[in-house]
Structure 1
Amino acid sequence: MTSANSLTDVPLSVLDLSPIVSGSDAGTALRNTIELARHTERLGYHRFWVAEHHNMPGIASSATAVLIGQVATATERIRVGSGGVMLPNHASLIIAEQFGMLEAFHPGRIDLGIGRAPGSDQRTAIAVRGSAAALSAEAFPQQLAELMAYFEPDEHRAVNAVPAVGHKPPFWLLGSSGFSAQLAGALGLPFAFAHHFSAQNTIPAVRLYRESFTPSETLSEPYVMLGASVTAADTDEQARRIAAPSGLAFLSLRRGRPIKLPSPQEAAEYPYTEMDRMFVEERMESQIIGSPETVRKGLDGLLADTGADEIMVTTMIYDDEDRLRSYELIADLAK
C-alpha cells in the first residue's frame, strides 16, 4: 500500500464531540468547542468537524448543523463540517436545507460528512426517527442519492430544498466497516474512516475503498481521511494519565450506562475488575498516547500502514487546558 512519507506530508484536522466532563455542563462543553475551533484554526488545522450523538450525558454535539453554524461564525478560515450527520435519523430534504444554508452563509468552508449509524442506542433512535419502522439502514444508498439530488437543479421536481441548489458543500462518506468504504468508492466520494472506533477494520476498509473507487466529478483519485484518537503531553506518563478517563467512559458506554467524561483522579480510583482492565487496555491500544516523539511515531506508523491522505484527530481530555495543549503539541509535529 502506498504511504505518505511522514506527518509533514498530510493535512491535520479535528473531530470534536463537545465532551461534557464530570462536574460540568453542556453549555460549558459547547463554549469549549468554540474555543478549541479558534485555537486549532490558529495552529493551522485544516478542518473542524463535529459529531452527531444523542442521549449521551458526556457529549453535547447533538444538534450538529446548529453547532457547525456557531463554529463557522466564530472562525475565519478553517473548514467546518459534520463527522457526521447520521442520515437515517433525518429527512434528506431537511439536511439539504440545513447544509445549503450553512454553505450560503459560509461559502467554500462547509463539509457534509454522512454516516448511516444511529449515533445512539435503539430506544433513542426510535425517539429521534419517530418510529421503529424507520430504523433500517437498508435504504441508505437511496436516501443518500435523494439528498445529493436536492443540491442539483431540476425544473421537474415538485419539492425543492431552498437554498441547497447553488450552495452544495463537498460530500464525504463516513464509516467503520466495509459498507461505506465500498459505497464511497463506487460514488467517487472522499472517505473518512473511524480508525479510533474500529481499528481492526481500518486497513481492510481502506483497501476496499481504493479497489472500489470510480473517478467522478468530485474526485479523480481516492482520498482517505482517518479519524484517530490522539493524546499528547510533555511526557508519556502525563499523556497516559490524562487519556485514562476516555477508557472509563467507553467502558461505561459498553455497559449501557454512558457517563460524563471522568477526571483523571476518578479514572485512577475506579474499582476495575480484571475483565474491565482487559477491555480498557484493548480499547486504548488503538489510541496514540504519549510525548510528542511517541505521538510522532504512532501517527507516522498509521500513515505508513494505510497511505492516508489526511488525519483527523479526536481528543477526549477532562481538563480543557490539557486538551488545547495536546492539539498544540500535535500541530508542532507537522511543521
Structure 2
Amino acid sequence: MKANTRRRGLWSVVVAAALTCGVMSTPASSVEIAATNYGSSVIGMPWAIALAKGYFKDAGVDVSAVIGSPGGSTEVRNLIAGDLPYADSALIPTLKAIKNGSDLRIISDNTQTSAQFVWLVKPNSPIKTLADLKGKRISFTTPLSTSQSLDFLLIEKAGLKPSDVKLISTGAYGAALTALQNGGIDLALVSEPTYTMNKNTFKPLFWSRDLFSAVNTSVGVTSVKTIKEHPDMLRGIIAARRRAVNFIKTNRDESVAIIAKVYKMDPNVVRAMLAELVDRPSADGSVFFGQGDINPKGLDALVDLSQKTGDLKEKVDWRDYVDQSFLPADLQRKLK
C-alpha cells in the first residue's frame, strides 16, 4: 500500500513537471474560418459537411466554426485584420486588397463555375430564346455584383448591346421574384436556393452553367502571416474541404441531411439543389464544387468580366498571388 502511494505521489510530481516544462503538450487552440454567406449560400455547403463529419480534426486542425458574412469584402477585411486564418471568399475583393498593399495569397480555387445562377420567367412568358431578349427588363442585385456581371455576359451571348435591354437593380433575390410576379421586370436572375424554393411558381429560362464555361465564384484566401506561422493548418483546411466535396458526390443522402440541418432547409430542396450543382457540369465540363485545384480559365474569365463592368479598374494577373504549396501534390499544376 505504501509502495503504491509512493508511486502515485511520484507520478503526480512527474505530471506537474511535464506540464510546467511543456513536455505534455496541450491541444492547439481552435480557430474559426469564414465563407461568404455561410448557412444560406450554396458556396459554403462543403464546409458544413467537413464540420459535421469531423474532417478538420482528422486533418489535424481544430476548426470550431465557419462564420458567414454578407460578402467577399467582409472576409477580406477580417483576414487583413488578422482575425481569420482562412476565408472562402471572392476573387475580385481579394485582388483589390492586394493591390492596395495587403499581404494576401490565393491558396485554393473552391467554386469554379457560376452554376448556381439561373434566369427565371413567368410560366406564360413569351420569352423563349436569347433572340427574344431585346427590349426586355432584366434584374440584378446591386451594382458591381456577380449578378450584374452575368447579365452583361447574357446580353453579349445574345449578340446585343447593353443599351438593347434595361437592367434593373432589385436588391435581394426575393425582391426580384416579387418584381417578376408583379410585372416590374421580364427576367429575374436568381441564385440557388432561391430558384429551387420557388420552382413551382417560375420557369427557368437559362441556366448560367449551360450558357457559359467556367467563371470562378470563390477562392480560398489567407494571409502571408498565416502562411509563415501555420502552414500545416492551411493544408488541413484544404484537405478537409476536398474530402467533403467528394463525400457530397458519393454519399448524397447523408449530405442532404447534414446540409438541411445546418442551413435549416427542407431536405427535398437541398437534394434538388445538389442535383443541379453537382450532377450537371458547365458547358465546358467544369464542376461547381472544386477540390481546391486552380482553374485558370475560370479565374481569367472573372477578371476579364470584372474589367468590362468596371469593378476592376486595372488589369491584375492573379497568378502573381497564388501559392499552390498547400494543395495536395496531385492538385498542383503549372498555371498557363
Q: TM-score range by the shorter chain?
A: under 0.3
Q: Say which one has the larger Rg.
A: 2
TM-score by length of 1: 0.26
Which gives a bigger RCO, structure 1 or 2 (Cα 8 Å, sep 6+)?
Answer: 2
TM-score by length of 2: 0.26
